[in-house]
A = this chain, B = another copy of it.
């Protein structure tokens, strides 16, 4: 029994080592460059051994994405845990998104791979489930903040929109802008010089549009987000460091 768990632990340790080897290859050189032969060579194992851990490289990508999404979730939790008005807590989650994209850019890049149909369809139901669950948890962290706002009567959501659908709008605008910023050929050329600032303004306007109290003017909002983003950064740094050492 003890022997068995020791073997299992060794197995797990090597699984993690594979992920550590694979991550920089995937992020730095792309999916194409990530080959089982190369991972095996880097670890000085035979290819077959790698296949004992992962049935194909798509599964490695999903395993990496699960780690990345776990980090995102931790950042969301840290942001939502802020002792502040609900609207500010939502802003803090927005800061978490920005932080994640900027300071955990490898993880952000990895997250995108699972949207590739080839990768997704090939991977195991178990890992797909983990991804879905993590996505669901991220969603419920955010929607619980919205719920709190509704309960506190800072926000009125009429029959037209559920809290989750409300969150979906912010998810879409944040996600969309980050993908466009990362992958759209030269936003600057079409006149978008500071996409992050633009999106912050849109989010403020949208929150005001829904009359989420306290209403903030654009300039005030921008200042407060800047402050918030600075003050919460060390907490995010801590969460990130802990995630990477664990």
Contacts and interface: CB of A to CB of B under 8 A. Distances in A.
A208 interface: yes
Interface in A150-207: 158, 160-166, 168-169, 171-177, 179-180, 183-187, 189-195, 197-199, 201-202, 205-206
Contacts of A223: none
Contacts of A199: 168-169, 172
Interface residues of A, number: 60
How many identical chains are in the complex?
Answer: 2
A118 interface: yes
A186 B129 CA distance: 11
Contact of A164 (B158, B186, B190): B190
Nearest to A113: B116
Nearest to A137: B190
A168 B192 contact: yes
A31 interface: yes
A117 interface: yes
A218 B160 contact: yes
Given A160-B201, A185-B131, A201-B161, A180 B172 contact: yes
28 contacts: A30-B118, A31-B118, A120-B183, A131-B185, A132-B189, A135-B190, A136-B190, A160-B219, A165-B191, A165-B195, A165-B197, A166-B198, A168-B177, A168-B180, A168-B187, A168-B192, A168-B195, A168-B198, A169-B173, A169-B199, A169-B201, A172-B172, A172-B199, A172-B202, A174-B176, A176-B176, A179-B179, A209-B209
Given A175-B179, A176-B176, 14 more contacts: A30-B117, A117-B183, A132-B186, A136-B189, A161-B201, A163-B191, A165-B194, A168-B195, A171-B180, A172-B172, A172-B174, A173-B173, A179-B179, A205-B209
